[in-house]
Amino acid sequence: MKTIKKHKFGNVYAYELGYSAVGRPLMTVNCYVVGDILIDTGQSHMSRAVLDIVKAHKISAVLLTHHHEDHSGNAAVIKKAFDIPIQAHSLTIDKMKDSYKIFPYQHWVWGATTPVRLDSFIPDFYEHENLKFQLIHAPGHSKDHSVFLEVNHGWLFSGDLYLGDRIKYFRADEKIEEQIASIRNVLSYEFDSLYCSHNPRPINGKRYLAAKLQFLEDFYGNVSILADHGLDEKKIMRQLQLKEQRMIKLICFGNVSMRNMVRSVITAHKN
Ligand SMILES: [Fe+2]
């Protein structure tokens, strides 16, 4: 089953895309359109819909927040069909020039990403009509993760930096200390709208992102105190009453879990 919902936040359009082989989609992802710029390209299972969006809005350039398959899944087909620049951080360009392995659940939920030659982001500012984008590298969710700030209107296209005030799981390669540093840095910029790929907050976005920072800092503090007392991952989870989202963990073959969040704190705290 495929779902496409179009949301309008002033001059910003969000296309919420969902796909499921069986039943209703469990997860959706947003691609954003502002003027003739597309931010992120959705999952490859939704390639036809995304190509239609590119055509309908006469998209002239694409900005990519990071290489994960629900954001970059249609970069290659867009490049092939329209030959327009798809700009990204140099680490995203490196990651996407060759194919890389993903888990079966990633194939199932989002679809694979095809290798593609991306374009460099114009350093500091990308200007187009009355839009002025700035790339801010914001690692932690992934090494290459970046956000795009539209400075004239105060819109932050935040990829997977926010997701929610409180989060319940990490992928195995996420780094909490980098996420905390990235959010602190991003909060030093001026913006009000937080266009998260999974959870848009068009008003008071800065407050929502600050709440996420507070949550991560508290989590870090609580886990590291118990680690200092010699408790292992399991005992820390029990002490803090942290529960696994069992279904998510099962579907994702353990690659996504609360335990990964705890482990990330312990690893960072040791170093
Ligand atoms: Fe991601």
Instruction: List pLDDT tens digits, range 134-162.
Output: 999 999 999 999 999 999 999 999 999 99
Say what the pLDDT of residue 124 is: 67
CA 231 to centroid of ligand 1, rounded, Å: 30
Confirm if 140 and 158 have CB atoms less than 8 A apart. no
Cα(230) to centroid(ligand 1), Å: 32
Q: How far apart, in whole angstroms, are the C-alpha atoms of residue 34 and residue 19? A: 24
- Is pLDDT above 80 for 132? yes
| Cα 18 to ligand 1 centroid, rounded to whole Å | 15
Say how many Å lie between the CA of residue 101 and the centre of ligand 1: 15
- 229 Cα: distance to centroid of ligand 1 (angstroms): 33
| 66 CA from centroid of ligand 1 (Å) | 7
How many CB atoms are closer than 10 A to CB 152? 11
Look at residue 195 and tell me whether its pLDDT is greater than 70.
Answer: yes
Cβ atoms of 71 and 101 closer than 8 Å: no
- On whether the pTM is more than 0.75, the answer is yes
Answer with the residue of higher pLDDT: 243 or 128. Answer: 243
- Cα(34) to centroid of ligand 1, in Å? 21
Specify the higher pLDDT residue, 252 or 31: 31
d(CA 85, ligand 1 centre) in Å:
21
CATH of domain 2-210: 3.60.15.10
Residues, CB-to-ion distance under 5 Å, ligand 1:
68, 160
Residue 120 in this model has a pLDDT that exceeds 90: yes
Q: Which residue has the higher pLDDT, 122 or 133?
A: 133
Asked whether residue 67 carries a pLDDT value surpassing 90, the answer given is: yes
Please list, residue by residue across 63-94, b when 16 or more beta carbons sit within 10 angstroms of its beta carbon and e when fewer do: bbbbbbbbbbbbbbbbbeebebbbbbbebbbe
Confidence of residue 33 (pLDDT cuts 50, 70, 90): very high
The tens digit of pLDDT for each residue in 213-258 reads: 999 999 999 999 999 999 999 999 999 999 998 877 777 777 889 9
Quote the CA–CA distance of 56 and 36 in Å, as a whole number.
10
Give the containing element (helix H, strand E) for 54: helix 47-56
